[in-house]
A and B are shown apart, each in its own frame.
Chain A
Amino acid sequence: MSVRRLAKVQPDSFAFSKATMQKAEWWIAKYPADRRQSAVIPILWLVQKQEGWVSEPAIRAIAALLDMPTIRVLEVATFYTMFQLEPVGTAALIQVCGTTPCMLRGSGELMRVCKEKIGPKDQLSADGRFTWQEVECLGACANAPMAQINDYYFEDLTAEDMAGIIDDFAAGKAPQPGSRVGRASSEPEGGAITLTDPKLYDGSAAKPIKTLPNSAPAKEPA
Chain B
Amino acid sequence: MPVAKVNGVETEFEPGMTVLQVAERAGEEIPRFCYHERLSIAGNCRMCLVEVKPGPPKPQASCALPAAEGQEIFTNTPMVEKARKGVMEFLLINHPLDCPICDQGGECDLQDQAMGYGRDASRYDENKRAVEEKNMGPTIKTFMTRCIQCTRCVRFITEVAGVPDIGMISRGESAEITTYLEQSIDSELSGNVNDLCPVGALTHRPWQYHYRPWELKKTETIDVMDALGSNIRADARGAEVMRVLPRVNEDINEEWLSDKSRYAVDGLTRRRLDQPYVRENGRLRPASWSEALGVVADRLTAAPADRIGVIAGDLQDAESMKATLDLFRALGSANTDCRQDGMAVGGEAREGWLFNSGVAGIEQADVVLLIGTNPRVEAPLLNARLRKGWLSGDTRILSIGEAADLTYEVEHLGAGAKTLSKLPKAATDALKNAERPAIVVGAGAIAGANGAAVLNAIGALAKKVGVVKDGWNGFNVLHTAAGRVAGLDMGFTPADGGLDVAGMVKPGALDVLFLLGADEVDTTGSDAFRVYLGSHGDRGAHGADVILPGAAYTEKPGIYVNTEGRVQMAERVVFPKGEAKEDWAIIRALSERVGHTLPYDSLDQLRQRLMGDHPTFGRIDYLVPAAAFDVGALGKKGDPGEGEFRSPILDPYLTNPIARASATMAELSAQRVTPVAMAAE
Contacts and interface: CB of A to CB of B under 8 A. Distances in A.
B167 A3 contact: no
Nearest to B166: A71
Interface stretch (A19-27, A72-80, A90-98): A72-80
Given A6-B181, A75-B167, 13 more contacts: A1-B172, A1-B173, A2-B174, A3-B176, A4-B170, A70-B180, A71-B178, A71-B180, A72-B164, A74-B167, A74-B169, A78-B169, A78-B171
Interface in B143-195: 158, 164-174, 176, 178-181
Nearest to A79: B171
Nearest to A59: B180
A1 B174 contact: yes
A78 B650 CA distance: 39
A71 B134 CA distance: 14
A86 interface: no
Interface in A1-43: 1-4, 6
Centre residue among B164, B168, B170, B176 by max chain A CB count within 10 A = B170
Contacts of B168: 75
A91 B81 CA distance: 56
Interface residues of A, number: 14
A78 B174 CA distance: 10
Contacts of A74: 167, 169, 180
B181 A56 contact: yes
B537 to A, nearest CB: 42
B165 A78 contact: no
B107 to A, nearest CB: 29
Interface string A173-199: 000000000000000000000000000
Given A71-B165, A72-B164, A3 B170 contact: yes
A69 B164 contact: yes
Contact of B174 (A3, A6, A56, A72): A3
27 contacts: A1-B172, A1-B173, A1-B174, A2-B174, A3-B174, A3-B176, A4-B169, A4-B170, A4-B174, A6-B181, A56-B181, A69-B165, A69-B167, A69-B180, A70-B180, A71-B164, A71-B165, A71-B167, A71-B178, A72-B167, A75-B167, A75-B168, A75-B169, A78-B169, A79-B169, A79-B170, A79-B171
Contacts, number: 40
A79 B171 CA distance: 5
A75 B177 CA distance: 10
Contacts of A2: 174
Contacts of B165: 69, 71
Majority SS of interface residues in chain B? Answer: mixed
Contacts of A70: 180
A79 B164 CA distance: 18
Majority SS of interface residues in chain A? Answer: helix
Nearest to B131: A3
Interface in B541-575: none
A1 B174 CA distance: 8
Contacts of B181: 6, 56
A92 to B, nearest CB: 26
B627 to A, nearest CB: 41
Contacts of B164: 69, 71-72
A76 to B, nearest CB: 9
Q: What are the 6 closest A-B residue pairs judged by CB atoms, nearest first?
A: A71-B167, A69-B164, A78-B169, A3-B174, A71-B180, A78-B170
B337 to A, nearest CB: 46
A74 B176 CA distance: 12
B179 A71 contact: yes
Contacts of A6: 181
A6 B181 CA distance: 9
B182 to A, nearest CB: 11
Nearest to B176: A3
Contacts of B158: 69
Contacts of A79: 169-171
Interface string A47-87: 00000000010000000000001111011001100000000
Contacts of A78: 169-171
A193 B181 CA distance: 58
B445 to A, nearest CB: 32
A4 B176 CA distance: 10
Nearest to B129: A3
Contacts of B169: 4, 71, 74-75, 78-79
Contacts of B171: 78-79
A30 B180 CA distance: 28
B569 to A, nearest CB: 42
A116 B181 CA distance: 35
Contacts of A72: 164, 167
Contacts of B170: 3-4, 78-79
Contacts of B180: 69-71, 74
A4 B165 CA distance: 19
Interface in B296-345: none
A4 B180 CA distance: 14
A3 B145 CA distance: 13
A75 B178 CA distance: 10
A91 to B, nearest CB: 28
A75 B165 CA distance: 11
A70 B167 CA distance: 10
A3 B164 CA distance: 22
A74 B168 CA distance: 9
A220 to B, nearest CB: 30
B77 to A, nearest CB: 36
A47 B178 CA distance: 24
Nearest to B174: A3
Interface in B466-491: none
Contacts of A56: 181
A3 B172 CA distance: 10
A2 B132 CA distance: 13
Contacts of A75: 167-169
Contacts of B174: 1-4
Contacts of A4: 169-170, 174
A75 B172 CA distance: 13
A118 to B, nearest CB: 25
A62 B62 CA distance: 37
A2 B176 CA distance: 12
Contacts of B167: 69, 71-72, 74-75
B644 to A, nearest CB: 29
Centre residue among A6, A56, A75 by max chain B CB count within 10 A = A75
A69 B181 CA distance: 13
B630 to A, nearest CB: 42
Nearest to A68: B164
